[in-house]
Amino acid sequence: MDAKVYVENLLCSLEQNNKGEKEFLDAATEVLTSIVPVLEKDKRYIEEGVLERLVEPERVIMFRVPWIDDNGNVRVNRGYRVQFNSAIGPYKGGLRFHPSVNLSIIKFLGFEQIFKNSLTSLPIGGGKGGSNFDPKGKSDREIMRFCQSFMTELYRHIGENVDVPAGDIGVGGREIGYMYGQYKRIRDSFDGVLTGKGLSYGGSLARTEATGYGLVYLVDEMLRDNGKDFKDKTVVISGSGNVAIYATEKVQALGGKVVALSDSSGYIYDKDGINLDVVKEIKEVKRGRIKEYLNYKKDAVYTEGCKGIWSIKCDIALPCATQNEVDAKSAKLLVSNGVFALGEGANMPLTLEAQKVLLDNNVLFAPAKAANAGGVLTSALEMSQNSQRLSWTFEEVDKKLKELMVNIYYNAKNAAKEYGYEGNLVVGANIAGFLKVADAMLAQGIV
Ligand code: NDP
């Protein structure tokens, strides 16, 4: 059968079987359509049902998370862990705590994670999890009780050689600490079952910085490969969480000027360049809102609503907040304002239509699968250190992170070239990520 028709049919039946799961269907559409050239070259992937198996998670776990708030009320949330694919290693992927979390979002993230993890060149499979719990406005004690309840169910499904979760939106060092404590208490075992741990109990130096730094390392390589760099460039970054903060830090270190950051309420614009110490104090210490930046810098401008951030004129854009935050309209605005490069720090921050606008206008585009792989990559380095009972220095980890991000860039670039899509890193990242997993699946038989 013609590979293109085969993929179209598969996408139709996927839509039938996963009704209403827009995020998951979008992610699957992007990957499956871009690997058509691979299927044309090697029919075994079709004959052995690799794609049908790839789009079906190996296991989906959904569970009740009951907890008690500070007023003594019983509260109930829903927990998820999607163990998508273990062909090349234990499931690996973050946990997200955010009210928007649903099965479609966790499946899309888990699906993307398969290819991202494969691209890192390290032996890790794909998974993702989380809850519709909203950490905003909760006390430390409430967060602890929620995390303990969440882990009281999750612990039976994970393990250092089975599934190793990490953080994501709403899950940082504090939450990982509470979950790790509960896991250890139940299992009575000190092992590397979670990554993103504190340094005093098995965490890796540079894990906190890894996704943001890794994003900038990869984008920097893409710029250099095209005769450009970050020096003196105006950069807009969305979000002000873990990824955004450390992307800002690295851009500033490379001489770029970050003029805007946001949260889900609005965005700040500082023509002089963002003062990152202030943002860290607001977000990492006080857990406050980005609007509070105005208390420190009177002439900065705050605007309600987060979409408007893409109307700010910039050379390079790094969306680092959440999925679908840049639509086609925002992408057109970026292009008309002269943006020449965009790197996805968040997972799928661009809609498929927005992606097309950038590619049609020859904007250098680094897709999330490649660009934000630094977090999971450093998590895998944390796993290695845990197995060896060793801690590497910050410089050692950072050096490996940089080398591997540069590697990812060239793997994606070369795969795109080999299959006739020179310059298209979306196709290149999908193909390079797919091949390793698909070949492992072929070798392991129909399982
Ligand atoms: P954080 O929770 O630390 O920060 C998220 C930031 O995005 C916050 O500023 C948050 O604002 C903002 N945000 C969240 N939801 C929305 C929304 N619906 N609209 C606008 N802004 C929003 O998360 P991370 O920085 O860890 O993650 C950011 C992105 O990067 C996610 O897509 C995540 O999947 C991806 N990622 C993260 C990795 C990691 O290592 N942490 C690894 C790879 C990818 P507010 O505080 O108001 O909610």
Q: Smallest Cα–Cα separation from 131: which of 85, 195, 73, 76?
A: 76
Q: Containing H/E element for 175?
A: helix 173-187
pLDDT digits (tens, 9 = 90+) for 154-195: 999 999 999 999 999 999 999 999 999 999 999 999 999 999
Task: Give the distance (Å) from ligand 1 centre to CA of residue 168.
Answer: 7
pLDDT digits (tens, 9 = 90+) for 202-219: 999 999 999 999 999 999
| pLDDT band, very low/low/confident/very high, at 1 (cuts 50, 70, 90) | confident
Query: Is residue 264 within 6 Å of ligand 1 at its C-beta?
Result: yes
Task: Give the distance (Å) from ligand 1 centre to CA of residue 185.
Answer: 29
What's the rounded Cα separation, in Å, for the pair 192 and 385?
9
Query: Is residue 168 within 6 Å of ligand 1 at its C-beta?
Result: yes
Are the C-beta atoms of 8 and 33 separated by less than 8 Å?
no
Query: Is residue 93 within 6 Å of ligand 1 at its C-beta?
Result: no
Which numbered atom of ligand 1 lies nearest the CA of 261? Answer: 9
pLDDT digits (tens, 9 = 90+) for 284-314: 999 999 999 999 999 999 999 989 999 999 9
What's the rounded Cα separation, in Å, for the pair 212 and 250?
8
Q: What is the DSSP string of 252-274?
A: HHTT-EEEEEE-SSEEEE-TT--
Predicted structure pTM score = 0.95
Q: Any idea which residues carry the catalytic annotation? A: 128
pLDDT digits (tens, 9 = 90+) for 24-63: 999 999 999 999 999 999 999 999 999 999 999 999 999 9
Query: Is residue 322 within 6 Å of ligand 1 at its C-beta?
Result: yes
* Per-residue pLDDT, 94: 97
Q: How large a percentage of the chain has pLDDT more than 70?
A: 100
- Chain centroid to Cα 54, Å, comes to 19
Per-residue pLDDT for 19 more than 80?
Answer: yes
Are the C-beta atoms of 298 and 328 separated by less than 8 Å?
no
